Every structure is written in C-alpha cells, then in structure tokens.
Structure 1
Amino acid sequence: MISVYQLKPKFQQLLRPLVSGLANAGVTANQVTVVAMLLSIATGAVILWQQSLVWFYLLPIVLFIRMALNAIDGMLAREHDQKSTLGAYLNEFGDVISDVALLLPLAILPGISIELLAGFIFMAMMVEFVGVIAPMVGKERQYQGPMGKSDRALVLGLLGMTLPLWPIVGTYLNYLFMGLIILSVVTMVNRVKAAL
C-alpha cells in the first residue's frame, strides 16, 4: 500500500549535503535524535499550555523539521559510521514519544472523544511496535503503510493547517480518528505479513 514513507529516498538526496556538513562539524546522530524528540515535546507542551487553535499552526512546521531531523539522524548513522545500540533505542523511543507529544494537544478541541484520541495514540504505538518486532524474527524493520509514522505526520500537519482556519473541522475529528484507527490496524497487518 502507498505511504508517504516511499518519498524518503528523494528527501534524503536533498539533505545529503547538509548531513555531510553536520558530520564534519562533529554532530552525532544521537544528538539529532534527541533534538527532534525535545522539539516535539516542547511543541506539544506549548499548544497544551496556550489552549488556542492558532498555535496548531506550529504542527506542520515542526513536523517538517522533525521529518528532516529523522532523515538526518539515520543518514548520519548509516553513512558516517555512527550506528550504535543506544542510537537504535533512542530512535524508536524518540519517535513514539514525539508522536504522543504532538497528538495529545488535539485533546483541547471541543467535542473531541478522548477515548478515540487515546485509541489512535495507542494504535500509533502498536504500529511502530509491530515494525520493531520484525528484526526479532530475522527480518528488516518494517515501515509499510497506510498509516505509518510519515502518514501520521501528514495527517497531523494537515490538521494543524486547517483547524485554526476552519474550526468546524474539529467536529468531524472523531470520525477521522475512527478511520485512522482502522488504517492503523491495516498497517499492522501489512507489517506482520511482510515479516512472515
């Protein structure tokens, strides 16, 4: 199934000169991973603290930066001999923490079902968990869609752009969450199938 993740190779090509410069400057993959996680936590905290829709405009900006940082840390690790066990833990742990931090602010929207939001956050974690299990059975880490990390970022970024402009969109979010949960289940099935 198609996924935003499939665009990653082209995005990496654009970032390669920057990655080389960072490597030459002594920046490590783990440092980039931590920065991406802290940026996500700070963004989520600001939106929750301000309790205003206008702050949702931060989401598409931060999600784009986070996507770039995620690509950069991976390229530093693979192409500049910075792979480490700690890096693997930070990468997976950081992605889950970042997702939760950026999804939680949706709870401030009126009429939102906390149960459905929590269900989607849980499914987001389960999707990544299923992908991480693959190496335990001798396969590569699985990234299939249709609702992987990049796809969630796209949905959240679009919400960040539309909610301040058209708050009425928020009244349909519970239906969106139902659909996203179903797509997450499909993603889990796709990842399990690919690893079998």
Structure 2
Amino acid sequence: MRGLYALKPWYSRRLDMFVRGAVRRGLSPDLFTFVGIIGACLAAVAVAYAWWPLVILFLAIRLAGANLDGAVARAREVSRPWGFVLNEIGDRLSDLVVMGGLAVLAWRTDGVDVALVVVIAAVAATLPTFASLAAAGAGATRRNGGPLGKTERCLLVIIASIVPAWTIWIAWIIVAGSLVTAVTRLIATHRELSAA
C-alpha cells in the first residue's frame, strides 16, 4: 500500500524545473533540505493559528524540499551518505515541528488534554520511519508511503487547520494509521529478509 506516496512521481515532475535550475547553478541538495525545514516551521505557525491557506502553501514547500534534496543530489551526481543523514534529520525535524504546531492548535482550541493526544500522535508518527530505517539497515528495501505516511499526515494536518474541532479525531487517526503503517512495513521487511 503506497497511499498518497504514489503521487510522488507526479509531484516530482512538477518540480523538475527547480531540479534543472539547481543543476545549472550548482546548488547544494542540502539547500533544499533546509528549504523543507523552513517550510515546515512556517507551516507549524500557520497550523497553530488555523490559517489553512498558508498551511497548504507551506506544507507544499515542506514536501517540495523533501523531494528536491534527493532529486538534485541524483541529478548533480553528488549523492553521499551524509546527505542521506541530513535528509532524514530534516524530514524528522520537519514532521515534529508541524505536529508541534498541531499540538498548539489543539491546546488553543480544545485544551491540554487534546494537545497531549497530539503529542502521542507525533510520537506514533515516527514509528513508520523507524521501521523503514531499520529495514534498510538490515539490507532490505527502505519502504515509503502509506497507508499513513508523511503525505497523508500533511493532508490530515490541513484538515485539522480547516476544522480545528476535528483535531482529536485526526490525532487518533494518526496514531492508528502510523501503527498500521509501521506494522505493514515490518511485515513486508520480514518477508523480504526471510526470502533472502
């Protein structure tokens, strides 16, 4: 199950002009990791105040940065292990910052109890990535996508910023979906490693 991650090739094609421009100018892929983090920070502020049009814009920038760092590295043929590390740190930091904005929104609109559920959701949202990185460390395929990956979380955060009263339900969806995604990835990894 790839979820909205299946749209990545389409989104990558939309970003191709940025890749070509970065190659022409010799821009570092790390610049785009930084752009993604800045987009996430701006999105977090917008989420905290339920400014949903800005949430959409800044999350699009966050996802573009996450997409472009690897695309530029491959296009410029400058991929390196440290770039992978920076990419992963940038993605995790961006995820936590955006979820922090959602926690602030929950606290502002529903109080500390709902904000704590969002914090639980933020922790649960890290599990699919842990599963994927553990798989890659064992020599298996690094899996991305759903049923509830980064792109689905971004969509749910947008919905919460449009309808803040739904934040608690969205947080529980993130918890459940993240657990299912992590387990799905681990099952696929177990099958792959067992077959090898």
Q: CA deviation at 1:56?
A: 4.1
Q: CA deviation at 1:57?
A: 3.3
Q: TM-score, normalised on structure 2? A: 0.85
Distance (whole Å) between structure 2 residues aligned to residue 111 and residue 142 of structure 1 = 35
Which letter does structure 2 place at the counterpart of 1:99?
Answer: D
Higher relative contact order (CA 8 A, sep 6+): 1
Q: 1:22 to 1:52 in 2, by over 3 A?
A: same
Distance (whole Å) between structure 2 residues aligned to residue 21 and residue 32 of structure 1 = 12
- Deviations along 1:10-57, one digit per CA (max 9) or x if unpaired, are 22123223211211111111111022113322442x448xx643x343
Q: Is the 8 A contact 2:156 2:170 kept in 1?
A: no
Equivalent position of 1:190 in the other structure: 184
Distance (whole Å) between structure 1 residues aligned to residue 100 and residue 52 of structure 2 = 12
- Deviations along 1:113-135, one digit per CA (max 9) or x if unpaired, are 12210111001112211111111
Across the aligned residues of Structure 1 and Structure 2, the Cα RMSD in angstroms comes to 1.9
Equivalent position of 1:167 in the other structure: none
Q: Is the 8 A contact 2:35 2:61 kept in 1?
A: no
Q: Does the alignment pair 1:174 with 2:171?
A: no
Equivalent position of 1:92 in the other structure: 88
Within the candidate set 68, 77, 83, 2:79 is matched to 83
Which letter does structure 1 place at the counterpart of 2:143?
Answer: Q
Equivalent position of 1:166 in the other structure: none
Q: Which runs of 5+ in 1 are unaligned?
A: 164-169
Q: Is the 8 A contact 2:39 2:58 kept in 1?
A: yes
- Deviations along 1:85-128, one digit per CA (max 9) or x if unpaired, are 22111111111111111121222332251221011100111221
Equivalent position of 1:20 in the other structure: 20
Q: Is the 8 A contact 1:36 1:66 kept in 2?
A: yes
Q: Which runs of 5+ in 2 are unaligned?
A: 191-196
Q: Is the 8 A contact 1:59 1:102 kept in 2?
A: no
Identity of aligned residues (%): 26
- Give 1:28-177 correspondences, 5 Å limit: 28-44=28-44, 46-47=45-46, 52-53=49-50, 55-106=51-102, 107-109=104-106, 110-112=109-111, 113-160=114-161, 162-163=162-163, 170-177=164-171
- Deviations along 1:153-187, one digit per CA (max 9) or x if unpaired, are 12112333x23xxxxxx333212222221111100
